[in-house]
């Protein structure tokens, strides 16, 4: 954690996180991990069409920000957005159903893995175009500011997104307007198959550019859900109180390739081994036990979550594929094709 991050979280000692919150952080990470692993299995069974982008290894970021959020806040995420959608409370059944193109899915099977959206849960879309959602998130934050609603927009993007023009345009507007938006760079070190440092002139693609927008350079351990939770809580308070945006770089690592079509052979094995040893889930499990949570309690949560995943899988795989009349629905303002003529 950088000095700027420590300054942001000043007055928030370790003891301030209650056991209930810690267990929620643990459970949220489990939900994401188990659903993502199930999505991988379903892909291998040819039940998930096309491809999918998993966030296995990056769960602590979604959990930390998701648990710290208020219900009315907005989430904007990338095509690697299953984790953030689940962290906001969308059902496992609806997420898995959408991945498989079933009628029970979040968008009744029309969006698929890369476009998860649940306005009901504040998930304002997963965006397949890198960086495209940054100015959209700023617009949502400006709307909240104008309406005085107290809502905060959180925009998640990868390290590759920091080299996109929309990123710089969005940061500029947010800083000038002091918009209530939090930009979160999930730095997993690779832009698809390219090491980020080989095509970026600074070591930290987000944090090292913060000063250009008058923002502090905030870097945190993206595999530590409590560190993420503390920084997120402070950034939310800053945004709600009129302090303007924050730019946060969370260092993490995806355990698998960029997508299911990528074996990730370009990554050095020693690097992979180092990051696998920092897996957020077993590390946090050990911390909870050291703080006094019984192993039996953690095992109970693990069994409950796995049972929920099994039930969700059964329901989703039994759901029918969308009927043909859905093709024209949500295309025109009345939900049909009448406006075509």
pLDDT, average across residues 283-311: 97
pLDDT, average across residues 175-179: 98
pTM for the whole structure = 0.93
Range of the domain at 60: 3-121+133-151+165-187+197-204+215-318
- Is residue 58 one of the residues assigned to a domain? yes
Three-state DSSP at 220 gives strand
- Is residue 158 one of the residues assigned to a domain? no
Residue 247: which of 188, 161, 127, 330 has the closest Cα? 161
Q: How many domains does the chain have?
A: 1
Which CATH number goes with the domain that contains 99?
Answer: 3.40.50.970
Please tell me the predicted confidence (pLDDT) of residue 336.
60
Please tell me the predicted confidence (pLDDT) of residue 330.
73
pLDDT per residue over 222-278, tens digit each?
A: 999 999 999 999 999 999 999 999 999 999 999 999 998 889 999 999 999 999 999
- Is residue 336 one of the residues assigned to a domain? no
Exposed / middle / buried, residue 169 (Cβ in 10 Å: 0-12, 13-18, 19+)? middle
In sequence order, what are the residues at sequence separation of 6 or more whose Cβ sits closer than 8 angstroms to the Cβ of residue 81? 114, 116, 123, 126, 156
Mean pLDDT lowest among 125-139, 176-190, 327-341? 327-341
Query: CB–CB of 9/234 below 8 Å?
Result: yes
Three-state DSSP at 323 gives coil
Asked whether residue 88 carries a pLDDT value surpassing 90, the answer given is yes
- Is residue 332 one of the residues assigned to a domain? no
pLDDT per residue over 298-319, tens digit each?
A: 999 999 999 999 999 999 999 9
Residues 27, 176: Cα–Cα separation, whole Å: 38
pLDDT, average across residues 33-39: 97
- Is residue 160 one of the residues assigned to a domain? no
pLDDT, average across residues 179-187: 98
Residues 332, 191: Cα–Cα separation, whole Å: 36
Structure tokens at 219: 């870097």
Query: CB–CB of 174/244 below 8 Å?
Result: yes
- Is residue 293 one of the residues assigned to a domain? yes
Query: CB–CB of 109/60 below 8 Å?
Result: no
Of residues 323 and 148, more confidently modeled: 148
Query: CB–CB of 115/335 below 8 Å?
Result: no
Asked whether residue 101 carries a pLDDT value surpassing 90, the answer given is yes
């Amino acid at each position: 954690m950088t000095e700027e991050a420590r300054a942001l979280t000043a007055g928030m000692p370790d003891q301030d996180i209650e056991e209930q919150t810690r267990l929620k952080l643990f459970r949220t990470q489990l939900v994401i991990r188990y659903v993502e692993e199930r999505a991988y299995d379903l892909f291998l069974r040819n039940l998930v069409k096309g491809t999918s982008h998993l966030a296995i290894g990056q769960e602590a970021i979604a959990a930390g920000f998701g648990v710290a959020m208020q219900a009315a806040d907005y989430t904007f995420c990338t095509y690697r957005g299953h984790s953030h959608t689940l962290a906001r409370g969308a059902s496992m059944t609806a997420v898995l159903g959408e991945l498989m193109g079933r009628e029970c899915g979040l968008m009744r099977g029309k969006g698929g893995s890369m476009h998860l959206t649940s306005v009901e849960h504040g998930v304002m879309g997963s965006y397949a175009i890198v960086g495209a959602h940054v100015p959209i998130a700023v617009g949502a934050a400006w709307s909240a500011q104008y309406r005085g609603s107290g809502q905060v927009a959180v925009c998640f993007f990868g390290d590759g997104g920091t080299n996109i023009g929309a990123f710089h345009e969005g940061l500029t507007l947010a800083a000038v307007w002091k918009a209530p938006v939090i930009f979160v760079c999930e730095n997993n070190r690779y832009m698809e198959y390219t090491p980020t440092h080989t095509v970026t002139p600074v070591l930290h693609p987000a944090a090292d550019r913060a000063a250009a927008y008058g923002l502090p350079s905030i870097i945190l351990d993206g595999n530590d859900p409590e560190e993420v939770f503390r920084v997120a809580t402070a950034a939310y308070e800053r945004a709600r109180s009129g302090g303007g945006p924050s730019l946060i770089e969370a260092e993490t690592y995806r355990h698998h390739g960029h997508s299911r079509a990528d074996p990730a052979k370009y990554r050095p094995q020693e690097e992979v081994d180092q990051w696998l040893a920092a897996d957020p889930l077993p590390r946090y499990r050990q911390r909870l036990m050291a703080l006094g949570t019984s192993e039996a309690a953690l095992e109970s949560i693990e069994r409950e979550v796995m049972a929920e995943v099994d039930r969700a899988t059964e329901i989703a795989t039994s759901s029918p594929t969308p009927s043909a009349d859905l093709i024209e629905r949500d295309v025109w303002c009345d939900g049909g094709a009448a406006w075509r003529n």
